[in-house]
Amino acid sequence: MPKKFIKRHLPDPHTIHDNKYLKVFGTLLHDPNLWHLNRKSVSMAFLVGLFFMWVPVPFQMWLAAGTAILIRSNLPISVALVWITNPITMPPMFYFAYLLGAWMLHVPPSDFHFAPTLEWLTSGMLVIWKPFLTGCFALGVVSGVIGFVAIRLLWRMHIVHYIKERRKRVLAK
């Protein structure tokens, strides 16, 4: 059952309550809806997490956590999904976002060379920021919606399958 699998891999709520970096959220973390695993909270968590994984800022987890608390979706899943973008996956994902944004804005992709310096961020980003952020936003919305719908459908299919199996077991007795 997916619920058991998810519960087995999620951190204990008490360890998250005691995390010094999450103290900024105060008593908001005590809301039990942030820890429940049901179709609504998990699908909303996928919406939040998959959207914020495309936000190109260093504090994606804070944004995902704050939004999860605000809309009362599953907090650990929302924050964990943001880690799909990590130092290894970011370059190809964000380059694809840039290419998509350039295509959406009908702008030819610039030939730029990334350098992890402050100078490049101030000068190089000026050239690509519109298509880059457009692509990130579009991919965030599409990823979030696909994740939301997929979890709803998979959860529903699992419940329907479970009910059919239960009926078979009852009729077999």
Which of 151, 139, 160, 167 minimizes the C-alpha distance to 39?
151
Q: CA torsion sign, 115 to 116 to 117 to 120?
A: positive
Residue-level pLDDT at 111: 77
Q: Return per-residue pLDDT of the chain as tens, 173 residues.
A: 466 666 666 666 666 666 666 667 777 777 777 888 889 999 999 999 999 999 998 889 989 999 999 998 998 899 999 999 988 998 899 989 999 999 999 998 887 776 667 776 677 777 788 999 999 999 999 999 999 999 999 999 999 999 999 998 888 87
- Give the distance between the most distant pair of CA atoms in the chain: 74
> Using CA atoms, how far apart are residues 23 and 93, in angstroms rounded to an integer?
31
Distances (CA, A) of 45 to 20, 39, 65: 22, 10, 10
Residue-level pLDDT at 119: 75
Q: CA torsion sign, 55 to 61 to 66 to 67?
A: positive
The two three-digit tokens of residue 60, written as one number: 């994606």
Are 34 and 68 in contact, with CB atoms under 8 Å apart? yes
Are 75 and 69 in contact, with CB atoms under 8 Å apart? yes
Q: How many domains does the chain have?
A: 1
The two three-digit tokens of residue 147, written as one number: 């994740």
Residue-level pLDDT at 30: 73
> Using CA atoms, how far apart are residues 5 and 7, in angstroms rounded to an integer?
6
Residue-level pLDDT at 161: 93
> Using CA atoms, how far apart are residues 61 and 16, in angstroms rounded to an integer?
13
Distances (CA, A) of 58 to 4, 52, 62, 141: 32, 11, 9, 19
Q: Which domain holds residue 143?
A: 2-172
pTM over 0.85, yes/no: no
Which of 42, 32, 35, 78 minimizes the C-alpha distance to 153?
42
Length of the chain: 173
Residue type, 43: S
**CB burial readout 45-66, b (16+ within 10 A) else e:** bbbbbbbbbbbbeeebbbbbbb
